[in-house]
Amino acid sequence: MVRRFSQDDDFLNLLPSKWWVNFFKKFDEIDNIPISKWKPVHQLSYLTQRYEEVYGKRFSFALTGTPSKCGEIYMIKKMMAVLGTSNQKTIKEYIDWVYDRKIIPQKRKIRSVGFFINSSFCNEFHLDRIEKNKITRNTALPKEYKSVVDTFGLGLDTFGDLAFAKQAIDEEPDDKSREPYRKLFHELYRVGFQYNILDNIV
């Protein structure tokens, strides 16, 4: 089993500065920080974790410049730009999609984070995601949304219920009786919910 960067003292002792040590220690934060709060360093951590699972070896870094501006972070940010989103859950899904659809089945050997910066991959991923995530009024809320909804005790179970609640807010935005629903949507947004999901519900 490959040891994580932050758990390998031999590796940490070889780093050129304490800034790099602190950089790699942030990699473990993905175990405790909600995906919605991930930053580029966490996406990089996840990407390299999957790399280690697939290839059985640790990803090699160039270790040039300062950690926050290193080539790998630059490429993660560029990947996000090409993907066209800052939604951390979607970015993680894309990383998984590339590994599961483009790397593992085709037995590709990647050498750089740059492999993920591919507009064709991004377009195909978005189309696949739309098809996979087609939602109707009767579609049950996934557990990450349902757990948030249940804390408010509003009896909402489907995307149709959420669409109705959103419509109620839109029709009477200043009505105090809608406040629980406004708070609910605020919390849902924090875990990655996107309002436009409700626009095309049939």
Residue with the bigger pLDDT between 5 and 94: it is: 94
Residue with the bigger pLDDT between 94 and 12: it is: 94
Q: Which residues contact 144 (CB under 8 A, 6 or more apart)?
A: 191, 192
| Tokens, residue 52 | 């280690």
Please calculate the CA angle 202-126-183 and round it to the nearest 5 degrees: 60
Residue at 138 is within a domain: no
Q: How far is CA 38 from the centre of its chain?
A: 7
Containing structural domain, residue 173:
143-200
pLDDT tens, residue by residue, 6-45: 667 788 888 888 999 999 999 999 999 999 999 999 999 9
Residue after which a domain boundary falls, among 109, 132, 155: 132
Q: Is the pLDDT confidence value at 77 over 60?
A: yes
Give the per-residue SS3 of 125-138. Answer: HHHHHHHHCCCCCC
Give the separation between CA 36 and CA 53, rounded to whole angstroms: 23
In this structure, the answer to whether residues 128 and 167 fall within a common structural domain is no
In this structure, the answer to whether residues 43 and 127 fall within a common structural domain is yes
172 vs 99, 143, 179, CA distance in Å? Answer: 45, 29, 10
In this structure, the answer to whether residues 102 and 126 fall within a common structural domain is yes
Residue at 137 is within a domain: no
The number of folded domains in the chain is 2
Average predicted confidence (pLDDT) for the chain: 90
Residue with the bigger pLDDT between 132 and 171: it is: 171
In this structure, the answer to whether residues 128 and 150 fall within a common structural domain is no
- How is 146-174 classified by DSSP, letter by letter? HHHHHHHT----BHHHHHHHHHHHHHSTT
Q: Which residues contact 198 (CB under 8 A, 6 or more apart)?
A: 159, 162, 163, 166
pTM value > 0.85 = no
Is there a contact between 17 and 70 (Cβ–Cβ < 8 Å)?
no
Residue at 96 is within a domain: yes
In this structure, the answer to whether residues 181 and 122 fall within a common structural domain is no
Give the separation between CA 62 and CA 65, rounded to whole angstroms: 9
